Amino acid sequence: MAIIEVSNLFLSDPLNDVLSLPIVSKNGQIIGSISRYQLMRIFFRPYGRELFGKRPVQSFMNSVPLVVDLEQSIEQAAQHVTQHITAPVTEDFIVCEHGRYHGIGRVIDLLQAMESRVRRHSQELSQAYSRLKASQGQLIQSEKMASLGQMVAGLAHEINTPLGYVRNNVELVGAALRSAGYALDILNRVASTTETPEPLAEACRHALTFEQDYGLEDTTGLLEDTLYGVQQISELVANLKTFSRLDQAKLAAISIADSLDSALMIARHLLKSRIEIIKEYGETPLVECSPSQINQVFLNLLTNAAQAIPGNGRIAVRTYVENAYVVASLQDTGVGMGPELIKRIFDPFFTTKDVGQGTGLGLSISYQIIKQHGGYIRVASKPGKGTRFAIGLPIPAAAANTSPTAVRHQGTSHG
């Protein structure tokens, strides 16, 4: 084929965007290639077309063209092509099958295919990375919670034993005092009659000074207070036990208000007297959930709220029903957050707290837990004003039709 004919071929429609054409013998052997660039160099010479146009194409061809085997993968082909390519890129490559010509391949198509592959791989990699990060976070947190739970359960157990005999003894002493009071009454009567012989009257008066010195009623009152204190400690221990329940995966129907109260009790030391808790518990049906996990979510939110309040402040804790969800809302008067911060708070390990203070896992774990329960977690915040978190847990189908069963108590208290 003559140079002129090849140049016409390059101008023809289907070939007008290939860089080079293969030169193939009649039996399919690849002999070489001729590039558009090479033709241009010929035609740019003075009288190039007239002098060289009729010469056979072989006299100007590249006899070592870029050849890629059909069997090769895209990666292998790309590697081969990029190793042999020269700048500027003036040639496309030839595809062969079993050593025979098969077709033309454009370098640009190959590069684009490679690029989209790289993009997909990097996307897959970054997805895998975030999955890994999330599960690592979950692992650390559940480890932390499990050991905290074990510790709390152990403590509760240890407190329970002495608590048992303290209560028992107080009750026994109370009973003893009651019968002593009875005996004193009799003595009083005996001492006040004139028929009583003097030595006996003397003994009675002596016994009665005990009553005057200590006041039997006062002593009984003290014992009642002590019993009340013991009762409070028992409740606290019971709460600790509920909180640390290690049956993490077990589902139970619980009242959200009880769960909030349990978390409030645990967070008491954080709230101290500087934070006022305002409770507004509406009537809500029970929700089906893993109690220890939901307690954990509320404790995380309360901790965050307390940490966001620099001096004195308030946390309003509300429960209500909205659509098909039981909602628990925690609103603080803390430092608040801007939109840029809000975007990142659910990311594992994101924290604005000092090194060693926060792990940045609280919210990411809470988010996972609520998601697993089919619920939602929403946040609204204003810098300088405060933050409101709302947790929605789906109402079980059975409870949706029946009347609400739950606590309604309102009021304020200090932590």
Ligand X SMILES: Nc1ncnc2c1ncn2[C@@H]1O[C@H](COP(=O)(O)OP(=O)(O)OP(=O)(O)O)[C@@H](O)[C@H]1O
Q: Does 334 participate in binding Mg ion (rule CB under 5 A)?
A: no
Length of the chain: 415
Closest distance of CB 320 from ligand X, Å: 20
- DSSP letter at 354 equals P
Q: Could you list the residues that contact ligand X (CB under 6 A)?
A: 300, 304-305, 308, 332, 334-337, 345, 350-353, 358-364, 387
Q: Does 415 participate in binding Mg ion (rule CB under 5 A)?
A: no
User: Which residue carries 């140079």 as its tokens?
Assistant: 3
Considering the complex, state which of residue 162 and residue 338 has its C-beta at the smaller distance from ligand X: 338
- 193: which residues sit within 8 A by CB, 6+ positions away? none
Candidate residues 362, 392, 394, 415; the one interacting with Mg ion per rule CB under 5 A? 362
| DSSP code per residue over 244-298 | T-S-TT--EEE-HHHHHHHHHHHTHHHHTTTEEEEEEE-----EEE-HHHHHHHH
Considering the complex, state which of residue 144 and residue 167 has its C-beta at the smaller distance from Mg ion: 144
Q: Which stretch binds Mg ion (CB under 5 A): 202-210, 269-277, 357-365, 393-401?
A: 357-365
Closest distance of CB 220 from ligand X, Å: 48
Closest distance of CB 328 from Mg ion, Å: 17
E strand or H helix at 216: helix 216-243
- 52: which residues sit within 8 A by CB, 6+ positions away? 3, 42, 45, 60
Classify strands 376-382 and 313-322 as parallel, antiparallel or unpaired. unpaired
Closest distance of CB 139 from ligand X, Å: 14
Distance in angstroms (rounded) separating the CA atoms of residues 369 and 289: 10
- 276: which residues sit within 8 A by CB, 6+ positions away? 312, 313, 314, 315, 412, 413, 414
Structure tokens at 16: 């007008």
- Given ligand X, Mg ion, none, residue 242, with its beta carbon under 5 to 8 Å by kind, binds none
- The three state secondary structure string of 43-59 is HHCCCHHHHHCCCEHHH
- 80: which residues sit within 8 A by CB, 6+ positions away? 66, 68, 72
Structure tokens at 243: 């909180």
Considering the complex, state which of residue 195 and residue 340 has its C-beta at the smaller distance from ligand X: 340
- Given ligand X, Mg ion, none, residue 352, with its beta carbon under 5 to 8 Å by kind, binds ligand X
- Given ligand X, Mg ion, none, residue 259, with its beta carbon under 5 to 8 Å by kind, binds none
Q: Does 348 participate in binding Mg ion (rule CB under 5 A)?
A: no
Considering the complex, state which of residue 20 and residue 329 has its C-beta at the smaller distance from ligand X: 329
Considering the complex, state which of residue 25 and residue 147 has its C-beta at the smaller distance from ligand X: 147
Closest distance of CB 352 from ligand X, Å: 3
Q: Does 387 participate in binding Mg ion (rule CB under 5 A)?
A: no
**Sheet strand arrangement including 325-332:** 376-382, 386-394, 325-332, 313-322, 275-281, 410-414
- Given ligand X, Mg ion, none, residue 348, with its beta carbon under 5 to 8 Å by kind, binds none
Closest distance of CB 348 from ligand X, Å: 8
Candidate residues 304, 319, 329, 368; the one interacting with Mg ion per rule CB under 5 A? 304
Q: Does 244 participate in binding Mg ion (rule CB under 5 A)?
A: no
Considering the complex, state which of residue 81 and residue 277 has its C-beta at the smaller distance from ligand X: 277
Residues at the site binding Mg ion, with contacts judged by CB under 5 A: 304, 362
